[in-house]
Amino acid sequence: MFKQRRASLRKQDRAWVRSSNFTESQEETGTSEAPKSQCCIEVRSLKVQVANLTSILDEMSHKQETELMSVFRQIMELDKQNRQQEARVTEAESKYSEINNRVEIMQLQTLQSATQTSSDAIYDCSSLLNSKNYKISGEYKLPKDEFLGTPELSVFCDMETNGGGWTLIQRRKVGLTSFNQDWKQYKNGFGSIRGDFWLGNDNIFRLTRQPTVLRIEMEDWEGQRRYAEYGFFTVSNELNSYKLFLANYSGNAGDSLRYHNNTNFSTMNKDNDKCVDHCASMRKGGYWYNCCTDSNLNGVFYRYGQHTKKSDGINWYGWHGSNYSLKKVEMKIRPVDFQP
């Protein structure tokens, strides 16, 4: 019986120990998890705050960017309006000057037409300068050519450059006239004599029957100017496809027309070049194409911002290479023996 009592006490002791250990374990577990749970809550709270701040900053940045773009567009629009206004003023001044010149020219021609004799034969602008003493640049009329049977011809005369007496045969400056024309258009001429024009291959042949000088003046989109002059220039008649002959280059633009010497004229509908490809179709103009170009003065007129990387533009390889389209070009001629 004593043994049974001792065994019962041992069982009670073991139960108490197990109960005590379980309670300590619970207390230890409770004291370690409480701080950990609190830490997680604080981290989550910080993450939410950071996300909110990031969202606010993104919104402020987007708003600021939108406002800056709006201001930039307003500045660009004002700049555009300013440039348009300047262009209108320049155009108005140019028209006013042109009208004055035309009035003076008409007065001079009217005054002297009554006293004209056979010795006053007018062939080109140099004749007007030397025979009539017309010194104002502008539009004039050349009388019909009885020998060739050609009618009266309106021309633009440069009476100022290098002594004057120049007859313009081509001009590019506005870009409103397409130079991608057919054979007939290039034969007769097209465009506005006071704007962009081609005088006509028949007329160029008429004006180059005597020894003639060709002067080409060019301007790029940066305002720089260059020129090329050829001491000998002539164009044959239509039966010979208006073949080009030239020599004796001088100037500062580079000799980019020599490659086209001794070549026939080509247009979109008449392929007379020396190439397998149809150069007039590729370069989009009428010209003395070889195979194909070292210059392309009758190419597409590209405005500023579109004028680079254009092989079919108004090119002059000796100055800006093959992919730069010029802003302005004038081709003008006068007799070799001209004396200002």
The rounded distance, in Å, linking the Cα atoms of 95 and 97 is 5
Instruction: Quickly tell me which residue has 């062939």 as its tokens.
Output: 123
Query: Which range has the worst mean pLDDT, 100-104, 211-215, 269-273?
Result: 100-104
Beta bridge partners of 155: 140
Tell me the average pLDDT across 28-44.
63
Both structure tokens of 145: 């050519």
Residue 63: count other Cβ atoms within 10 Å of its Cβ.
10
The rounded distance, in Å, linking the Cα atoms of 230 and 211 is 11
The answer to whether residue 132 scores a pLDDT higher than 50 is yes
Both structure tokens of 285: 């103009």
Collect all residues with Cβ–Cβ distance below 8 Å to 105 and sequence separation of at least 6.
Answer: 134, 136, 138, 139, 140
Residue 133: count other Cβ atoms within 10 Å of its Cβ.
9
pLDDT of residue 318: 97
The rounded distance, in Å, linking the Cα atoms of 334 and 329 is 17
Beta strands per DSSP E along the chain: 138-142, 153-158, 166-172, 190-191, 197-198, 212-219, 225-235, 244-251, 295-296, 315-316, 328-335
Q: Higher model confidence: residue 308 or residue 155?
A: 155
The rounded distance, in Å, linking the Cα atoms of 144 and 26 is 123
- 137, 128 in Cβ contact below 8 A? no
Rg (alpha carbons) of the chain, rounded to whole number: 43
Tell me the average pLDDT across 176-202.
97
Percent of the chain with pLDDT over 90: 56
233 CB burial (10 A radius; 0-12, 13-18, 19+): buried
| Amino acid letter, residue 291 | C
Query: Which range has the worst mean pLDDT, 4-8, 23-27, 122-126?
Result: 23-27
Query: Which range has the worst mean pLDDT, 15-24, 294-303, 319-328?
Result: 15-24
Query: Which range has the worst mean pLDDT, 37-41, 171-175, 212-216?
Result: 37-41
| Amino acid letter, residue 78 | L
pLDDT digits (tens, 9 = 90+) for 230-253: 999 999 999 999 999 999 999 999
The answer to whether residue 334 scores a pLDDT higher than 70 is yes
Phi first, then psi: give them for residue 66, nearest 5 degrees. Answer: -65, -45
pLDDT of residue 238: 96
Residue 286: count other Cβ atoms within 10 Å of its Cβ.
26
Collect all residues with Cβ–Cβ distance below 8 Å to 29 and sequence separation of at least 6.
Answer: none
Average pLDDT value for the chain: 84
For residue 152, the Cα-to-chain-centroid distance in whole angstroms is: 36
For residue 12, the Cα-to-chain-centroid distance in whole angstroms is: 106
Phi first, then psi: give them for residue 77, nearest 5 degrees. Answer: -65, -40
Both structure tokens of 236: 């044959």
Both structure tokens of 79: 């700049």
The answer to whether residue 25 scores a pLDDT higher than 70 is no
Q: Residue 150 — pLDDT band, cuts 50, 70, 90?
A: confident
- DSSP-derived 3-state class of residue 181: coil
DSSP letter at 199? -
Q: Residue 104 — pLDDT band, cuts 50, 70, 90?
A: low
pLDDT of residue 42: 75
The H-or-E segment that residue 110 falls in is helix 2-113
Residue 138: count other Cβ atoms within 10 Å of its Cβ.
22
Phi first, then psi: give them for residue 101, nearest 5 degrees. Answer: -60, -45
pLDDT of residue 14: 55
Tell me the average pLDDT across 207-220.
96
Q: Higher model confidence: residue 85 or residue 96?
A: 85
